[in-house]
Amino acid sequence: MLLAGGFAFISCSEPGTIGVEVLPDSDQPGVYFDTTIVVEATTVREDSLRSDEGVAGFNLLGSYTDPVFGKSNASFYAQVRLPNNNASFTFGTSPVLDSVVLTLAYAEHYGDTLTPMQVEVFQTDESMVIDSNYYTNDQLALGPQIYWGTVDVRPKDSLEISDAKRAPHLRLKLDNNFGNSFLTSPTSNFLSNDAFIQFFKGIHVRTTDVNATGQGVIMSFNLLAGMSKLTFYYTNDGDTTKRTANFEINSNCPRFNRFEHDYTISEFGNSFPVAGANRLYIQSMAGVKVRLKFPNLMNLVANGPVSVNKAELIIPVTDNATFKNHQNLLVFGVDSAGAEALIPDLLESTNYYGGTFSATDNHYSFSINRYLQRVLSGRTQTDYGLSLISSGGAINAYRTVVPGTSAPGSRIRLKLTYSKLN
């Protein structure tokens, strides 16, 4: 293995009976380079992903219709707490509402920001619990709608508020009836956060579907940013002083993302698994992922054990002009229940493991040496294959199309260098 590390190996002959190309003895005795290992691949539906505040830093909102992946929609739920996270808040004497505004700080965007968004905001009629696990297919009972409107998203444009420039954010003027329900509420609802969240359980923010193919956008928001808040503008009766009360979305507030997909209008349909000879599909937001197997791998040890020097899994990319592919992917193992499982290579450094998209080579590359060595040595009793999934699938909207196992030109493949052991 040490000697093999100093050489570069190039395929130069037809594969043998098990698809192995052997370098001349004068170059490196006993070292083999194989690029013809059979790869079987299918696209499968992703199960729901955990998407609460414990794992998801951003909250997503929007809709787009992809010519390949069909229609996708993102919404979120969030709790709101008292101003300054304090007890015994009061609006003062006989408050008079001017307006109530929900502001959401932009983080990232995916898709066409020129497409207007039709946004809806609802009160939730069901409480959320901090430190509980919420998943991308969870939903809560809703109360009254407190906003509906068409907005233009401008994630890079600052806003001028009260003669001062503010960081880019979405600004939604909510229904005044909702605002007045706070100002006229008994003071007992504002004595503590526990009392307050019984009175006002939270918000659900969603959009209507964008049906035009190739249009739409998914926005991500940082709800922990200082700009993200529920603000009441008001005066007290007989007093002209303009006052504000900022109800917070902070680290004590549970929140989670909900995602929906309509694959009936996608390129690959709604019947899974999808054969991967032509194309394979990976999508964030609990969309789809790829399962890989190497059915003739064990032929390598038919005549005795081998030592894996290098195993490189190459994942090329296609059709990423309109909607960009992921910047990073992950390769996991698969357990007996069909769930993702850690492989030892994933515990190594990123420089070793890989997974970052190379725009120069137009592919992802993974080192899976240790995984293959365990399979070939028999330490993994039953190999259920590998799972190729989105990185950050609960907080981004990326999608990736991969040429299939029989696609012409560049396609998914495994490059293996190994030595035979005596």
Output DSSP code: residue 297.
Answer: G
Residue 1: per-residue pLDDT: 28
Structure tokens at 406: 């029989």
Q: Is residue 216 within 8 Å of residue 392, measured between CB atoms?
A: no
Q: Is residue 62 within 8 Å of residue 219, measured between CB atoms?
A: yes
The pTM for the full model equals 0.88
Structure tokens at 226: 């200082």
Partnered with residue 135 across adjacent β-strands are 50
Could you give the CA distance from residue 38 to residue 11 in angstroms, rounded to a whole number? 16
For 23-59, the pLDDT digits (tens) are: 443 356 578 898 889 999 999 999 999 999 999 999 9
Residue 30: per-residue pLDDT: 73
Residue 162: per-residue pLDDT: 63
For 138-181, the pLDDT digits (tens) are: 999 999 999 999 999 987 767 666 666 777 889 999 999 999 99
Residue 285: per-residue pLDDT: 97
H/E segment holding residue 306? strand 306-316
Residue 66: per-residue pLDDT: 94
Domain limits, the chain: 4-47+268-420, 59-253
Quote the Cα angle for 386-389-390, to 5°: 165
Flag residues of the chain having pLDDT under 50. 1-26
Contacts of 186 (CB under 8 A, 6+ apart): none
Instruction: From residue 230, give the alpha-carbon distance in Å to each of 11, 182, 194, 200, 378.
Output: 63, 12, 18, 12, 58
Nearest alpha-carbon partner for 174 in 98, 62, 241 = 98
